[in-house]
């Protein structure tokens, strides 16, 4: 098995999939894995407009359903992980954010994902569940952009996945909140109908859903599907 493999994957998968891509190339000499990481909704838009790719991994089922409806899949996608939201603040949590409701307090600048992005959709679910309406200073197109606003000190708090908070380490302080259980995102992956390298695409999906892939995902803070 050789050749190029193009994987479109949700921004929150950047660290884990980069690791898995390196493992895949090592296991299959002659293959080159190229990633396109972005918000799942942006990826679906690119795919429906004809962008070439072999594999698509979404951070939610809603955007994968869009791909199914557009006829981009030869079969059913496979769920491979779940992820939940957490609050992140600059190190030390200078504004003392202790709950989801604290994000709506005056003087707390909050950054979230845009509603069409999976992390934004999850944020909206938590707002609905808590009755707390946020007034964010910005809505980002990818969860990594929200994290960037916090690590660069441009906002007091943001909503990202637990995996993003874990990956950021000492750059942020994470504040868990119980209502996050109301908005768990399930991640599906699929080989695409347009795959130019279907054999490698299938093997990559097998890696992600198999024991080695699940170990890498678990180490990063993802839960099982």
Dump pLDDT digits (tens) for 166-207. 999 999 999 999 999 988 999 999 999 999 999 999 999 999
CB atoms within 10 A of CB 74: 12
What integer pLDDT is reported at residue 133 of this predicted model?
96
| Neighbour-count burial for 30-65, b at 16+ CB within 10 Å, e otherwise | ebebebebbbbbbbbebbeeeeebbbbbbbbbbbbe
> Could you tell me how many residues make up the chain?
225
What integer pLDDT is reported at residue 169 of this predicted model?
95
38 three-state secondary structure = strand
Average pLDDT of the residues in 90-119: 96
Going by pLDDT thresholds of 50, 70 and 90, the confidence category of residue 114 is very high
Q: Say yes or no to pLDDT of 72 above 80.
A: yes
Residue 110 to residue 154: CA distance in whole angstroms: 9
Residue extent(s) of CATH 3.40.190.10 domains in the chain? 3-82+186-219, 85-182
Query: Residue 185 is encoded by which pair of tokens?
Result: 């995102």
Is 132:103 a contact under the CB 8 Å cutoff?
A: yes
Looking at every residue in the chain, the average pLDDT score rounds to: 96
Q: What is the pLDDT of residues 138-167, one digit of tens each?
A: 999 999 999 999 999 999 999 999 999 999
Burial class (CB in 10 A: 0-12, 13-18, 19+), 13: buried
Q: Say yes or no to pLDDT of 1 above 80.
A: no
Q: Which residues are annotated as a binding site for molybdate?
A: 12, 40, 143, 161
What integer pLDDT is reported at residue 182 of this predicted model?
87
What integer pLDDT is reported at residue 221 of this predicted model?
94
Q: Which residues are annotated as a binding site?
A: 12, 40, 143, 161
User: The domain 85-182: what is its CATH number?
Assistant: 3.40.190.10
Q: What is the pLDDT of residues 24-56, one digit of tens each?
A: 999 999 999 999 999 999 999 999 999 999 999
Secondary structure element (H or E) that encloses residue 125, with its range: helix 118-130
Question: Structurally, what CATH architecture does the domain formed by 3-82+186-219 represent?
Answer: 3-Layer(aba) Sandwich (3.40)
Going by pLDDT thresholds of 50, 70 and 90, the confidence category of residue 2 is confident
């Amino acid at each position: 098995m050789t050749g190029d493999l193009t994987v479109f994957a949700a921004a929150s998968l950047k660290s884990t999939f980069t690791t898995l891509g390196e493992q895949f190339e090592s296991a299959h000499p002659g293959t080159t894995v190229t990633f396109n990481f972005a918000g799942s909704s942006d990826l679906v838009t690119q795919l429906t407009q004809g962008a070439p790719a072999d594999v698509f991994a979404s951070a939610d089922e809603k955007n994968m359903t869009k791909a199914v409806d557009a006829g981009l899949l030869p079969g059913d996608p496979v769920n491979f992980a779940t992820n939940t939201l957490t609050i992140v603040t600059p190190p030390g949590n200078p504004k003392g954010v202790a709950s989801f409701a604290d994000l709506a307090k005056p003087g707390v600048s909050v950054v979230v994902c845009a509603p069409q992005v999976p992390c934004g959709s999850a944020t909206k679910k938590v707002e609905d569940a808590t009755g707390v309406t946020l007034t964010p200073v910005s809505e980002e197109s990818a969860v990594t952009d929200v994290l960037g606003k916090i690590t660069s000190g441009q906002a007091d708090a943001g909503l990202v996945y637990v995996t993003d908070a874990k990956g950021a380490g000492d750059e942020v302080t994470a504040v868990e909140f119980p209502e996050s259980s109301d908005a768990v995102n399930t991640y599906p992956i699929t080989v695409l109908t347009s795959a130019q390298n279907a054999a490698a695409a299938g093997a990559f999906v097998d890696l992600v859903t198999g024991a080695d892939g699940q170990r890498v995902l678990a180490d990063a803070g993802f839960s099982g599907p």
